[in-house]
């Protein structure tokens, strides 16, 4: 492995989501989905990694591996278990967790919505409800009023495009709908929720980035308390399955539909077709302080049938996703071309590898790619590995291990993998040494 160095102000850490690690919550849509037997290995997010009862132990996983930043989820269904009723116990729990992180020198980023919603909100139609932004805003207000002093960095919505397409187009996640119009509606409503949350968080923290100034203008890692609000976008490197011009056109269209239009809505408030079918908001001011990128893989696009497939004879992970570090560069360059004022934070990147056979190489290759992007002049500032520990993986349940730490779900024992050791050294040295 050739050595490389990341800038001193570059921040390294990992990411998790509440529903995927906490366990113990029966009040969210994923719990219900699991109860219906929808998960491949029959497991349930009710168990997960029992993180709710292990925040002290799991904090040590972060400090032992020299991580500087940690992206964690807040579970809406715990914080607001009933419509308009907030839980002191839940918010105090998160206060304690955030305080522990701060005391240990780890800068937290919180995700306000990461795929799961409270059952009462789902009963009201979830993000199809015309007043969803009002409900979301009320939850966000409560969070920021109670935790805002401990949090600088917010992801409002994790992967809005994946949430909308898997839940409303492919029907493989709750609520299991298969309807294009609903998919667009949910996506547009999520953008509305994001914009309301963006404004509210800045208003409550009253240091809104104005006049085009963003977190990017602060060269150093310490943003001096500046609040940064953005979205974690799932970006795929879509390429034509074959060199045929029809496949080339299809790849462009797929990329536009899945991510181009969505990213535009969440960063500028502009709704382009087909999102504009669901309303028009025309704000073209920046409504994100950073570009959060979750990158996992490249997909080949077929024009015939307009679907995607992994390219043949390429290295793949346990879930059959191609391992393609060059794609990270391509999606970052794409993002920078379209939204040059925004710093790039890799809010997720990682791989499913039960045997831990290729995760070390994966981490090396993707972070090497990041170092090359920085040399090119791209403002890539952070990297959050997915994930800190094995968790309840969507679709696969307990059988999709993405962790730097392996979890034995029976005993809840955590064990640092070899690749985790490698990442810890990389975090400590800010790169790979000779």
- Applying CB under 6 A, the residues found at the interface with ligand BGC are 17, 20, 158-159, 162, 234, 294, 348, 386, 393-394, 402
Q: Whole-number minimum distance, CB 214 to ligand BGC, in Å?
A: 23
How many whole angstroms separate alpha carbon 284 and alpha carbon 291? 16
Residue 148 or 175 having the CB closest to ligand BGC: 175
Q: Which structure tokens are listed for 222?
A: 């310490």
**CA atoms within 13 A of residue 19's CA, in its CB half-sphere:** 26
Contact 58, 23 (CB under 8 A): no
The least distance separating ligand BGC from the CB of residue 67, rounded to whole angstroms, comes to 18
- Least gap, CB of 38 to ligand BGC (angstroms): 15
Q: How far is the CB of 191 from ligand BGC (least distance, A)?
A: 18
Residue located via tokens 């967790």? 97
The 10 Å Cβ neighbour count of residue 92 is 11
Peptide bond into 344 cis (omega under 30): no
CB closer to ligand BGC out of 15 and 271: 15
CB of 57 to ligand BGC, least distance (A): 21
**Cβ nearer to ligand BGC, comparing 14 with 278:** 14
- Interatomic CA distance for residues 96 and 119, integer angstroms: 26
Distance (Å, rounded) from C-alpha 46 to C-alpha 5? 41
Cβ proximity to ligand BGC, 235 vs 271, nearer residue: 235
Using alpha carbons, select from 48, 259, 225, 76 the residue that is nearest to residue 152. Answer: 225
Rg (CA), the chain: 20
What minimum distance in Å lies between the beta carbon of 21 and ligand BGC? 10
> Which helix (DSSP H) or strand (DSSP E) does residue 30 occupy?
helix 29-35
Whether 141 contacts 76, CB under 8 Å: no
Work out how close the CB of 162 gets to ligand BGC at its nearest, in angstroms, rounded to a whole number: 6
Using the minimum distance from each CB to ligand BGC, give the nearer residue, 130 or 315: 315
> Toward ligand BGC, which CB reaches closer, 4 or 402?
402
Question: Which of residues 114 and 430 has its CB atom nearest to ligand BGC in the complex?
Answer: 114
Please, which residue, 241 or 402, has the CB nearer to ligand BGC? 402
Q: How far is the CB of 169 from ligand BGC (least distance, A)?
A: 15
Complex with ligand BGC: residue 58 or 393, whichever CB lies closer: 393
Least separation in angstroms between residue 114's CB and ligand BGC is: 6
Beta bridge partners of 382: 11, 345
CB of 321 to ligand BGC, least distance (A): 9
> Are the CB atoms for 299 and 221 separated by under 8 Å?
no
Structure tokens of 336? 């920078």
**CB of residue 5 vs ligand BGC: minimum separation in angstroms?**
28
Q: Which C-beta is closer to ligand BGC: that of 344 or that of 394?
A: 394
Q: H or E element: which one contains 292?
A: strand 291-302
CA terminus-to-terminus distance, the chain = 8
The alpha carbon of 394 is separated from its chain's Cα centroid by a whole number of angstroms, namely 13
Which CB sits closer to ligand BGC, 94 or 386?
A: 386
Task: Cite the DSSP H helix spans in 215-349.
Answer: 245-255, 261-268, 325-338
Q: Would you say how long the chain is, in residues? A: 434
Alpha carbon distances (Å) from 331 to 234, 260, 334: 10, 11, 5
Measured CA to CA, the distance from residue 225 to residue 98 in angstroms comes to 15
């Amino acid at each position: 492995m050739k050595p490389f160095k990341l800038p001193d102000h570059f921040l390294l850490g990992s990411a998790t989501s509440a529903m995927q690690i906490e366990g113990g919550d029966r009040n969210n849509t994923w719990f219900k989905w699991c109860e219906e037997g929808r998960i491949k290995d029959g497991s349930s997010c009710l168990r997960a990694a029992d993180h709710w009862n292990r925040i002290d132990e799991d904090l040590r996983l972060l400090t032992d591996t020299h991580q500087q930043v940690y992206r964690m989820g807040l579970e809406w269904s715990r914080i607001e278990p009933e419509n308009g009723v907030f839980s002191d116990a839940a918010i105090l729990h998160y206060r304690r967790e955030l305080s522990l992180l701060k005391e240990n020198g780890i800068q937290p980023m919180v995700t306000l919505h990461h795929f799961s919603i409270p059952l009462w909100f789902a009963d009201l139609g979830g993000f199809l409800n015309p007043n969803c932004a009002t409900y979301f805003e009320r939850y966000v207000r409560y969070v920021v009023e109670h935790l805002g002093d401990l949090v600088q960095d917010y992801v409002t919505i994790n992967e809005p495009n994946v949430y909308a397409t898997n839940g409303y187009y492919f029907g493989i996640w709750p609520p299991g709908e298969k309807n294009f119009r609903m998919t667009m509606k949910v996506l547009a409503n999520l953008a509305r929720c994001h914009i309301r949350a963006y404004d509210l968080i800045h208003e409550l923290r009253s240091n809104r980035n104005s006049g085009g100034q963003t977190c990017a203008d602060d060269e150093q890692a310490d943003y001096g308390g500046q609040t940064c609000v953005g979205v974690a976008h799932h970006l795929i490197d879509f390429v034509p399955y074959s060199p045929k011009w029809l496949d080339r056109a299809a790849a462009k269209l797929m990329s536009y539909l899945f991510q181009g239009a969505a990213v535009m809505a969440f960063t500028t408030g502009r709704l382009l077709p087909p999102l504009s079918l669901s309303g028009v908001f025309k704000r073209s001011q920046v409504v994100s302080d950073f570009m959060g990128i979750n990158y996992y893989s490249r997909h080949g696009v077929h024009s015939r049938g307009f679907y995607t497939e992994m390219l043949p004879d390429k290295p793949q992970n346990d879930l059959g996703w191609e391992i393609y570090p060059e794609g990270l560069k391509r999606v970052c360059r794409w993002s920078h071309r379209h939204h040059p004022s925004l710093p790039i934070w890799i809010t997720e990147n990682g791989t499913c590898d039960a045997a831990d056979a290729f995760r070390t190489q994966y981490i090396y290759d993707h972070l090497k790619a990041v170092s090359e992007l920085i040399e090119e002049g791209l403002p890539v500032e952070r990297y959050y590995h997915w994930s800190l520990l094995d968790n309840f993986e969507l679709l696969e349940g307990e059988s999709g291990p993405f962790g730097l730490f392996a979890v034995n779900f029976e005993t809840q024992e955590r064990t640092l993998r070899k690749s985790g050791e490698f990442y810890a050294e990389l975090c400590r040295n800010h790169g790979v040494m000779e």
